[in-house]
Chain A
């Protein structure tokens, strides 16, 4: 059974870099059948796609965040990661990682439980 688990600091200071990882179990991240994505949700608000990556490392990002985002993949650890630089309070959100099957049009078919990241001094 596929499981995704986000991990990383729950509190980040303004202007610093937010770093999260997503560990994948129950499936191999090294498959051309999937992309792997990050989505966030500010408290009480809607969803925002951050970016996605393939097992080969090809990444693409939300244009509104592109200048601050880097997503990378580590096939040896079966995980992928998110870095968001120069954070502000507006980056406070629950951050989710998710699988994107090619067979399902690369929509988000399996999600992690999410991790709350608060940006505050």
Chain B
């Protein structure tokens, strides 16, 4: 099983600033990596797939990068609605999720 490790577990950032979230795979997943956002009491929302392709309707302030085992989700100009939990997910071999990064208001 490919293990996905996200860091940090919690990230405190002020509105308007940039947040950088990391995701590491236990073995290469090529570019088969997605990012999701989840708010309390809601289902996750797809943000990024293919490591860097924004899903339909996702604002340009969300960007993804990386390949192989190291990936990054960057959120520029944080808005109040962006504070949530973020999960990475690999789909190179079956599908596994990271444990999540909670993005909180500083």
Contact = CB atoms under 8 A, between A and B. Distances in A.
Given A46-B87, A114-B43, A104 B49 contact: yes
B94 to A, nearest CB: 6
A63 interface: yes
Nearest to A98: B43
B83 interface: no
A112 B44 CA distance: 9
Contact of B100 (A46, A63, A107, A113): A46
B94 A63 contact: yes
Interface string B73-106: 0000000000000010101001111111000000
Nearest to A64: B1
Q: From DSSP, what is the main secondary structure of chain B's interface residues?
A: loop
A62 B43 contact: no
Interface string A104-119: 1111110111100000
Given A46-B87, A49-B94, A108 B44 contact: yes
A109 B35 CA distance: 11
Q: From DSSP, what is the main secondary structure of chain A's interface residues?
A: loop
A47 B91 contact: no
A55 B56 CA distance: 23
25 contacts: A46-B97, A46-B98, A47-B36, A47-B44, A48-B97, A49-B94, A60-B94, A62-B95, A63-B1, A96-B44, A98-B43, A104-B49, A104-B55, A105-B34, A105-B49, A105-B91, A106-B91, A107-B34, A107-B89, A107-B91, A108-B46, A108-B89, A109-B46, A109-B56, A113-B43
Interface of B: 1, 32, 34, 36, 42-46, 49-50, 55-56, 87, 89, 91, 94-100
Given A60-B94, A107-B46, A107-B49, 15 more contacts: A46-B97, A47-B44, A47-B87, A47-B89, A48-B97, A49-B95, A96-B43, A96-B44, A104-B46, A105-B50, A106-B91, A107-B55, A108-B36, A108-B89, A112-B43
